[in-house]
Structure 1
Amino acid sequence: MGAEHLHDWRQGLASALEWWRDAGVETLQEDEPRDWLARPAAAPATVAAPAAVTAAPEILPTTLEDFVAWRMGANAPESGWHAPLIAPSGPANAKMVVFSDMPCAEDRETLMSDATGRLFDRMLAAIGLTRDSVYLGSLAVARPLTGRVPPEQEARLVQLARHHVTLLKPERLLLFGQAAEKLIDGQADGSADVNLFGCTTRVVASYHPRFLLERPAAKSEAWKHLLLLTRGSQ
């Protein structure tokens, strides 16, 4: 029985091999020959990603003349606002600097023109000053169409304005408008002596003259602000 069973197994295997051979399946069906004994190729080394390039810190002009020229040039943040860029005015060694938030709607060549300018001149005269004796600048050197400093550009404009005032190193600084108050981190209630511009500066934030034209009742409060600036808190 065992011999007969073994004979049947061998006969079946031979029959199967013969069938596959007749079908043509007797060689390795690949385009390229394969070395089955070869070791697998090592995985390619991972190439490290290049280190991120750190942007060089911006270097702003270090003289007042060069900085003002830069602020009036094509690299100024306001150059794309489609509005005239209005330069600051006044002596570089002025003891008092006035910074507003932006030019007024009627300003074309100088800050504080027309009715706003006339009121501004009267405010200066009340404390014994003239426009020619103060340095007048603005946080934004152009007026945006919305009449408000764009929030997404405010921090940049504040940075530039602080650099501007640092080049001036004034004894007194008068700020007009809420956006301009950001120059002193919001310390705008009353007066403050700050050391943000390379020297100790008496700073007072007050109402913009254009606001006073609309709200004459606020003039008395603005007068108190001017007294704080010129006489101190005593």
Structure 2
Amino acid sequence: MGALPTFDTALAASVLDWWHDAGVDLLVEEEPRDWMAAEPVRPIAFTPPAPTMASATPAMHGGVVALAPAQPTLLPDTLEAFLAWRLSDAAPETAWDGISLAATGPVDAKLMVLVDCPDRDDGDAGQILSGAPGRLFDRMLAAIGQSRETVHIASVCARRPLAGRAPAGLEARLAEIALHHVGLVAPRGLLLLGNAASRAVLGTELISARGHSHELDHKNGKSRAIASFHPRFLIEKPMAKAESWKDLQMLMGDMRG
């Protein structure tokens, strides 16, 4: 008898990450979709957290998405206090394995970048976006005249989830926290890299959010948000770099406007 086949969990996780970054989170949909139809730009309104027991279910009101807080706990109302809280035991990811990684870059940056979660090697490097994805990310920033020293970089999840994706029960809470973070930084431009970041801020899958400029309202003003591919996806699929460059050009156009 032959040996039993082994299951490569690392390979399976890598494949799931690849599809996740591409915006695929289901095999089929119940209703047909017209993929060629143009999608109108919709303003996104962020309601700051309030001490209420309301569930964190997005509610649609005339095309505006308003997120109700999932927990009665108020989030810190200054960026310094919020960043300290984000690494504390009060954060939702505190029970996950690994270490939490802090946001980096200027607190008053005109451009903020939000990714889904730290990569596997980011913990050892001590920063979000390290290794090969980080090197590609640095080149992307350089192409638009930016660098890590000028950009505020954060992630929806402060720690990497076991399967590379936040548990469904925490997605709404993490989205609320990410939106609060954006409101405290109040950047002129916001670059969302990957499907999870697009879902958290825009409430929309990456495949639908790409190619459009989104207006995000928050308590400190407005930001223009652009969704694009995560660098790890671009490494796996280099042909998508041309589309990513279009997204970066749209981002810079918004920031100059």
Where on the TM-score scale, by shorter chain, does this alignment land: which range?
0.7 to 0.9
1:190 paired with 2:205, answer: no
- 1:169-184 paired onto structure 2 within 5 Å: 169-182=186-199, 183-184=201-202
Number of the residue aligned with 1:110:
127
Residue 162 of structure 1, CA deviation: 0.4
Number of the residue aligned with 2:252:
230
TM-score by length of 1: 0.73
Task: Count how many residue pairs are aligned between Structure 1 and Structure 2.
Answer: 181
Per-residue CA distance 1:46-74 (angstroms, 9 max, x = gap): xxxxxxxx869321111111111111000
What is the one-letter code of the residue matched to 1:220? A
CA RMSD of aligned residues (A): 1.9
SS in 1 for 2:174: helix
> In 2, distance between residues paired with 1:96 and 1:191?
17
User: Is the 8 Å Cα contact of residues 95 and 134 (structure 1) preserved in structure 2?
Assistant: yes
User: Is the 8 Å Cα contact of residues 191 and 229 (structure 1) preserved in structure 2?
Assistant: no
User: Is the 8 Å Cα contact of residues 101 and 140 (structure 1) preserved in structure 2?
Assistant: yes
What is the one-letter code of the residue matched to 2:82? F
> In 1, distance between residues paired with 2:150 and 2:76?
25
Number of the residue aligned with 1:73:
88
- 1:109-128 paired onto structure 2 within 5 Å: 109-128=126-145
Residue 196 of structure 1, CA deviation: 2.5
Number of the residue aligned with 1:89:
104
Per-residue CA distance 1:201-231 (angstroms, 9 max, x = gap): 1110000001111111100000000000002
SS in 2 for 1:137: strand
What is the one-letter code of the residue matched to 1:219? K
TM-score by length of 2: 0.67
Number of the residue aligned with 2:237:
215
Per-residue CA distance 1:118-168 (angstroms, 9 max, x = gap): 100000000011111000000000001111121111111000000011001
Larger radius of gyration: 1
Q: Which has the higher contact order (CA 8 A, sep 6+)?
A: 2
Determine what percentage of the aligned residue pairs are the same residue: 45
In the alignment, structure 1 segments of 5+ residues that lack a partner are 1-53
1:205 paired with 2:205, answer: no
User: Is the 8 Å Cα contact of residues 88 and 135 (structure 1) preserved in structure 2?
Assistant: yes
Residue 200 of structure 1, CA deviation: 2.0
* Structure 1 stretches of 4+ moved >2 Å: 54-58, 195-198
> In 2, distance between residues paired with 1:69 and 1:200?
24
